[in-house]
Structure 1
């Protein structure tokens, strides 16, 4: 099976195909997917390989194998849809396409409505200052989970691309954020960017598992390239902090772990984005970034005693203390959405290698539960997590899991 990705004007299509399948069948499946999204199909489509000097359409009568497509092959759709202009409601528009929401300035009592003073001239700007100390007391990250993420960055990816994981955990009574799980969503990785791919079912399963154990989304971890880490002052790019704000959503507490390598030594550091950054983000002040180190804005900011239409990324980042701890969850099953795919064979091997262990103890693994979630409904998955906490599996769930292992 080969995973084929198709870039269309309406989003990314991604599916697996046998090498004997003809390209025309791939085209048909993409068009069926567009119809499900209420996009109108208009005649036959043509596929090309993006960024290739020879951009002539690929022959639709040839098979995936004959076209020598590799796993993860990227194609671009040309034609085969109706290019209609649809009025998009504000609720569905990107924050970059909407006007900023400026702060309301109280009327100055010193002058009339058609005059101005120094107070009013400076009050209309948002003042941006560096923040030296984070609000978060600190982060305690599970050693196993972080080690598995770092291992993939070092041994499999060679710190050659960026990669992202979503952190799940809780806030302790002392105010520390405790990281227990790292979920790695579907994504495309390059040396300069991370493109998150939507898988709503898997994301719901990740949230269900976390919530069942009393955990919630508390941050993200970003693996950086070795080249970026050569600069000792480098932390995060403008695009990465905007992506982090989108991932945060309505989460109350949110931190960012930076995973990199410098002078041959892997490391992880903790940071948080300032409240002022999140406020500006909600007010839609930011424009799509033009470079890695500056955020362009729609309305002027007051930075270091002058008006600016861009701000350095470092103005919105504060370091957070980080230390290790160990939780009781296992972290042995292959991680979701990596090059090595999760499969029943890994579950079968896990059970066979520890014949004396109870099944309820073996499946106390976030990544294994993500895999089992693809066979179970949301309700059954939550029930399974509850059984793990109580240390006893229902007979039906144990039978299902053993059947999955033997598939």
Structure 2
């Protein structure tokens, strides 16, 4: 006999040889013929299943929950309709009843996939929150505000830890070589420097946990949260990471009630769907001068709010993350790399002189100090070892102390 399965993809036919099969056997047939895994299937004779959104709402449809129930006992016969809800995406296995808009022409696989690709908002982030070391956060915003006057975009990578509960702690920011202007930010690759940065992170027991960037003052009056260029950069960096808790932080000016401007931090994750679409090549990555910055262009039609479109509001892809602050284990008083100021051995000497009342390990407990020192040390042994002493707040071996003092003295 033939029964019909209605899901979010439309109406599909299922061939059944034995009308007295169980629900478990029915699910097996759905998996083999319609390519929906058994563990993903929720079935019901109630069509309201298709408008249920949350897992708790879907769980209320229990009429086909018992896998040993015979479908005939539920009144399911030839021509009956069963409603199917499932998570994820799939490719439709074979010829189906054509969705509206395709009458009179043959559907391609791209048509079918596009018809399935519904853009939905992700309600909850994959991390609990992000907490910023106060000095690291202030150091970044102060430079963007006081030196660049929010006229040039600036970016950096955030390093820290992730707890078992998904709490991200940012303890320092590495600002790579970059080219920024009013509208765009290009992060330049320096493999040698990046090796040093990762070696330091290894010794400190930390890792790269996200990306931070500033918007410019000209963006204050725009009606978007992130522009299409910013979203593409953010999702590319998140997609390159294997960290599901990866966070993107935006720093911007906002007009306050008195007409002045305050600096604000906002944190997001790009949604899982956004990352998947980017990895699968759905996004148009060339941005035209006349393109609306609040919209991301897709190469194929997607479904947004029940309508087919190639343009998606960027906000659909953003998942808001709660921000807190903390006092981290490192200081942030040493000049930051790759800015307009030259960092020399005299800079190091001034820093050590200024902190001579502290223990030696405290004097070098600054990522930016460690990065300068790392340029003159072995990246495979000395750099992680020195950073490891800082991580443990252990006594710096005398040999390293003599070396660092001599380096400073040469300035």
TM-score relative to the length of structure 2? 0.69
Following superposition, the deviation at residue 406 of structure 1 comes to 1.6
Which range moves more in the overlay, 124-133 or 264-273? 124-133
Distance 2:343 2:107 in 1: 65
Residue 398 (structure 1) aligned with residue 389 (structure 2): no
1:244 has 2:234 as partner? yes
Residues 6-405 of structure 1 mapped to structure 2, 5 A cutoff: 105-108=91-94, 124-231=115-222, 233-248=223-238, 249-252=240-243, 253-263=245-255, 264-288=261-285, 289-290=287-288, 291=291, 292-379=293-380, 380-390=382-392, 391-405=394-408
RMSD (CA atoms): 2.2
Q: Distance in 2 between matches of 1:265 and 1:115?
A: 56
Deviation at residue 215 of structure 1 after TM alignment: 1.2
Query: Does the 8 Å CA contact 2:171/2:329 hold for their aligned counterparts?
Result: no
Say which SS state the counterpart of residue 118 (structure 2) adopts: strand
Partners of 2:162 and 2:388 lie apart in 1 by 21
- Structure 2 Cα separation of the partners of residues 256 and 202 of structure 1: 22
- In the TM superposition, residue 110 of structure 1 has moved relative to its aligned partner by 5.0
For the residue of structure 2 that corresponds to 1:268, the secondary structure is strand
Unaligned runs of 5+ in 2: 1-88, 99-104, 256-260
Conservation of the 8 A alpha-carbon contact between 1:105 and 1:124: no
- Of stretches 382-391 and 272-281 in structure 1, the one that deviates more from structure 2 is 382-391
CA gap 1:327/1:122 in 2 versus in 1, 3 angstroms: closer
TM-score between the two structures when normalised by the length of structure 1: 0.69
Q: Distance in 2 between matches of 1:261 and 1:124?
A: 40
Structure 2: distance between partners of 1:246 and 1:123? 22
The Cα of 1:336 is off from its aligned counterpart by 0.7
State the Cα deviation string for residues 204-233 of structure 1 (Å, max 9, x = none): 2111211222211111111111221234x5
Q: Distance in 2 between matches of 1:338 and 1:116?
A: 55
Q: Distance in 2 between matches of 1:392 and 1:360?
A: 6
CA distance in 2, matches of 1:206, 1:303: 42
Q: 1:141 and 1:354 mapped to 2: Cα distance?
A: 24
Question: Once the two structures are superposed, what CA deviation does each residue of 1:131-179 show, in whole Å capped at 9, x if it has no partner?
Answer: 3443322111111100000000110000111111101111123321111
How far does residue 196 in structure 1 lie from its aligned partner after superposition? 1.4
Where structure 1 has 5 or more consecutive residues not aligned to the other structure, the ranges are 1-102
State the shift of 1:104 in Å. Answer: 5.3
Q: Quick check: 1:300–1:308 contact (8 Å CA) kept in 2?
A: yes
Q: Where does structure 1 differ by over 3 angstroms across 4 or more consecutive aligned residues?
A: 108-112, 114-117, 120-125
Contact 2:203 2:386 in 1 (8 A): no
TM-fit CA distance, 1:388: 2.1
Question: How far apart are the structure 2 equivalents of 1:167 and 1:298?
Answer: 32
Instruction: Please report how far the alpha carbon of residue 129 of structure 1 lies from its aligned counterpart in structure 2 after TM superposition.
Output: 1.7
Other-structure match for 1:73: none
**Count of paired positions:** 301
> What is the rounded CA distance, in whole Å, between the counterparts of 1:278 and 1:166 in structure 2?
19
Distance 1:136 1:389 in 2: 24
CA distance in 2, matches of 1:196, 1:174: 31
Structure 2 CA distance for aligned equivalents of residues 247 and 362 of structure 1: 33
